[in-house]
Amino acid sequence: MESFTFRLSSPTTSHGFSANDSIRISQSVFTVDAGKDGFHVENTDDASLGYLYIDGGTLSIEAEGDGLSASSQMQLDGGIITIKSGGGSE
């Protein structure tokens, strides 16, 4: 995703954004309120997949689980990321 603005409030039993292979974000604005993880990427069939890439932008995440979760790799290249997770721990 590139240069977008998103506001997402998910049900208490759901991840904000979820994918099997990858989530890639570039210079976008996200406000996420999630009942589980804010951004969740997991591929149990292929260990080379399941990665999260963030290239700048602004992310504000409030999640009952993890703010950012990737089963393979996570790469953060700049940006402003604010996470409140685990029901209140920061």
Residue carrying the six token digits 């309120």:
33
Sequential DSSP letters for 52-76: EEEESSEEEEEESS-SEEESS-EEE
The stretches of 33-88 forming alpha helices (DSSP H) are: none
pTM beyond 0.95: no
Q: How far apart are CA 28 and CA 17, in angstroms?
A: 14
Q: What is the pLDDT of residue 7?
A: 82
Q: What is the mean pLDDT of residues 5-17?
A: 82
Q: What is the DSSP letter of 13?
A: T
Q: Is the pLDDT of residue 90 over 50?
A: no
Q: Is the pLDDT of residue 10 over 70?
A: yes
pLDDT in tens, 40-70: 999 999 999 999 999 999 999 999 999 999 9
pLDDT in tens, 13-37: 899 999 999 999 999 999 999 999 9
